[in-house]
Structure 1
Amino acid sequence: MNTIGVCNQEDLIKWLTLTTIKGVTPREWLDVIEKNSISLDHLFTGNWQPQVNHQAELPEKLAQLIRAADLQRIEQSLEWQSQETLNQLVSIDCSSYPEMLKQLCSPPLVLFVRGNERLISQPSIALVGSRRCTHAGKQIAQEFARQLAELGWSVVSGLATGIDAAAHQGALHGQAKTIAVTGTGPDKIYPARNQKLHHSIVEQGGTIVSEFWPGTPPRACHFPRRNRIIAALSTGTVVIEAAIKSGTLITANLAIDLGREVFAVPGNIYNSTSEGCHHLIQQGAKLVFKVEDIIEEFACVPSQLALQGVDESQKSPCENLATDELLDSVDFDVTAVDVIAERNKLSVSEVLATLLEYELRGCVAAVPGGYVKLRGKKNVRHPHVSI
């Protein structure tokens, strides 16, 4: 659309106005603007001509709807924004609005963001799963989230009990932090037992995101809408324990529809919380049991990865091992680790540490018997799953 740019308060109020109008979806408002090549200002004045002749009365009809907007709700939202600097309203024409979210059929016109606003546009992976998870499932979620955050990936989840909460907790111990997408207004915490976690996410540099107005309580119909935002914000979605009929599989299905990577952790075949994961694997999702299984599907690691952001003069001797010379010593055929060590006159432990860095960057791959150099960037596979 032709209005995308840095948002201002006047435009923000207009987007809030459109959001209050019942019976017209965000996609319908965006279609009117895009298909008729008009600006947001023209939409509000009614001073434009529709491209389709039989819709000549459309401008005036839409102008009437706009005049009937819920001004009280708009004021409440602006008041919420003014309460703290951590509270932000991000409209779809803001430069900080996530581009990946615009791939939704009907993306939210306004996001209510509390915390680190920049985080919602950075590379992220969703970790989702059952509320009634096993102790092992919680451990997996925490460890996966911590490792992903250490590698620069923000971790997205839904602030529910069980796997969601464990994922947020694990990510808080990493570098890239976590994003909690809620099914309530930005000022409501659900479930109440996650109040401490909610505050920790904001205080430690994470973000709370919602498309619902301040004061909105939890409702069953809100959570599928929340799930679509989780799927859209994330480069990939990892499912850790899920029943066949669950909101978690809805999130996975939405990720598939968006062409995103989907991963599933296998579990006990006698446990109902593993059925959803096994179903996804049968349908083509990638089976994973370690973080490396996830990140190897992506051509590169996030730009904020510490290994890429450290100044060369400040690197330790071990970090400086990641040179082109060592990479050149890895053949396109299988090269044993001891051979690589001999070629570079380094210890095996030093070489393994460096090879792990190269593997994370997509330059080499571990295979039986050693490592092979990859020819150019890795191809990213998208599982074609029909659920």
Structure 2
Amino acid sequence: MAGVSRYLAQSIVGTLRQDPTLNPLATLRAWPNLPAEALKRLNQADLSLVDRALEQGGWIWEPTDYPDNLREMESPPLCLFGRGDASALSTPMVAIVGTRKASSYGLAVAEFFGKGLAEQGFIVLSGGALGIDAQAHKGALAAGGRTVAVMGTGPDVAYPAVHKGMFAQMEASGGARVSPFPFGTPSFPSNFPARNPLIAGLAQAVVLVEAPAQSGALQTVAAALDLGRDVFVVPGPITSPAFRGSHGLIRDGATLVEHPMQVVEALGGGMIQPLPPEEGDDLSETQQAILACLNGGPMLTEAIVRQTGLSAPLVLAELTMMELDGIVKKGRDGYQRGL
């Protein structure tokens, strides 16, 4: 709750637990010395939202329900609100985080890592936001895996609204949406930094894909380092300000990774180098069109754009994904088929 210290929040929760007959909203509104912003939110609160959320598959965890890794946090949430399969939180999870304003390269890499980690049995954890978060979730779903979003709103609020379908697919696929904020909580700017440590607390490791110097994703990484979690960073172009935060972490000793299997190996799995797919196998129509351009040898990106009639950003994103998968490789003369 805005402006309420953790000590005060614990006192309020303790009082309500000792006497279940108390009306929660009336008790909170009458509590002495509550900050004005907290009172404002309480006056907007509607407990019927909680009842409806629970009837529609929502759940509430108290600290006694938390998995061990969450209890390692210095200040774990007083309660955890969720939708979907709660058991997902007790399965090994790797967080993939980064900027909302991601490059086509960053988006492709996030999806590649999400897909690769899901294929190895990890639950992919992220924040449900635009950019890197969404692509990581989508990569896991594309692999038939499970993914969990830690929301900066109530877990029943589809924010951003454009992700409503993705959130529904996450829950239908055995994943979940969780939040330290109660059902019905709308988007407040202060909520998102507050939820970042929860991502680190739930994760076994954190993969940073793309982050400028002031990215909120760096807060998640800092919380992960404080908890002793493994932190992996994907490098980017040295000329791009969008990767200044990422490269700073690499300089400070974070582990550089270029493939999801490197994360799996570091976490105790065996290194298994997947073979590139056979021509036409699991390739989209766009990828097949790009690959057909390379039958005659290497080709520059501009030439591929002209020959396929596709947009330059789409071609760049697909080439990045295909290069990561080993389908194509880049040389001085442009892109060519992988070996």
Q: Hey, what does 1:172 align to over in structure 2?
A: 141
Q: Hey, what does 1:334 align to over in structure 2?
A: none
For structure 1, the residue ranges without an aligned partner over 5 or more in a row are 1-19, 34-39, 46-62, 302-387
Q: Distance in 1 between matches of 2:85 and 2:254?
A: 31
Q: CA deviation at 1:154?
A: 0.4
For structure 2, the residue ranges without an aligned partner over 5 or more in a row are 31-41, 271-339
**Deviations along 1:229-248, whole A, 9 cap, x unmatched?**
11111011000011011101
Q: CA deviation at 1:201?
A: 1.1
Q: CA deviation at 1:215?
A: 2.0
- 1:199 matched to 2:168? The reply is yes
Q: CA deviation at 1:211?
A: 1.1
Q: 2:58 aligns with which of 87, 95, 98?
A: 87
Q: CA deviation at 1:98?
A: 2.4
Q: Distance in 1 between matches of 2:101 and 2:211?
A: 9
Q: Distance in 1 between matches of 2:269 and 2:106?
A: 28
Q: Hey, what does 1:44 align to over in structure 2?
A: 18
Q: Hey, what does 1:25 align to over in structure 2?
A: 6
Q: Distance in 1 between matches of 2:8 and 2:204?
A: 23
Q: Distance in 2 between matches of 1:166 and 1:135?
A: 11
Equivalent pairs counted in the alignment come to 254
Q: 1:241 aligns with which of 204, 210, 217?
A: 210
Q: CA deviation at 1:174?
A: 3.0
Greater shift, 181-190 or 119-128, is seen at 181-190
Find the residue that maps to 1:296 and give its secondary structure: helix
Call closer, same or farther: CA 1:22–1:76 in 2, change over 3 Å.
Answer: farther
Q: Hey, what does 1:312 align to over in structure 2?
A: none
Find the residue that maps to 1:69 and give its secondary structure: helix
Q: Hey, what does 2:283 align to over in structure 1?
A: none
Find the residue that maps to 2:96 and give its secondary structure: strand
Tell me if structure 2 keeps the 8 A contact 1:123–1:154: yes
- 1:287 matched to 2:256? The reply is yes
Tell me if structure 2 keeps the 8 A contact 1:77–1:213: no
Please report the RMSD computed on the Cα atoms of aligned residues, expressed in angstroms: 2.9
Call closer, same or farther: CA 1:66–1:205 in 2, change over 3 Å.
Answer: closer
* Structure 1 residue runs of 4 or more that deviate by more than 6 Å after TM superposition: 40-43
Call closer, same or farther: CA 1:270–1:24 in 2, change over 3 Å.
Answer: closer
Q: TM-score, normalised by structure 2?
A: 0.68
Tell me if structure 2 keeps the 8 A contact 1:76–1:214: no
**Deviations along 1:280-333, whole A, 9 cap, x unmatched?**
1001110000112212222358xxxxxxxxxxxxxxxxxxxxxxxxxxxxxxxx
Call closer, same or farther: CA 1:42–1:28 in 2, change over 3 Å.
Answer: closer
Return the letter of the residue paired with 2:10. W
Tell me if structure 1 keeps the 8 A contact 2:118–2:140: yes
Call closer, same or farther: CA 1:28–1:208 in 2, change over 3 Å.
Answer: closer
Q: Hey, what does 1:252 align to over in structure 2?
A: 221
Structure 2 matches for 1:140-289, cutoff 5 A?
140-289=109-258
Tell me if structure 2 keeps the 8 A contact 1:238–1:263: yes
Return the letter of the residue paired with 2:257. V
**Deviations along 1:124-177, whole A, 9 cap, x unmatched?**
000011111111211111111111111110000011111100000001123541
Find the residue that maps to 1:186 and give its secondary structure: coil
Q: Distance in 2 between matches of 1:138 and 1:43?
A: 45
Return the letter of the residue paired with 1:76. S
Q: TM-score, normalised by structure 1?
A: 0.60
Higher relative contact order (CA 8 A, sep 6+): 2
Call closer, same or farther: CA 1:220–1:271 in 2, change over 3 Å.
Answer: same
Tell me if structure 2 keeps the 8 A contact 1:81–1:89: no
Q: Hey, what does 1:4 align to over in structure 2?
A: none
Tell me if structure 1 keeps the 8 A contact 2:10–2:78: no
- 1:100 matched to 2:69? The reply is yes
**Deviations along 1:169-226, whole A, 9 cap, x unmatched?**
0011235410001101122121122122122111222110111122211111111111
Q: Quick one: percent identity of the two aligned structures?
A: 35
Q: CA deviation at 1:42?
A: 11
Q: CA deviation at 1:251?
A: 0.8
Q: Which structure is larger by alpha-carbon Rg, 1 or 2? A: 1
Q: Distance in 1 between matches of 2:49 and 2:159?
A: 19
Return the letter of the residue paired with 2:121. G
Return the letter of the residue paired with 1:137. G
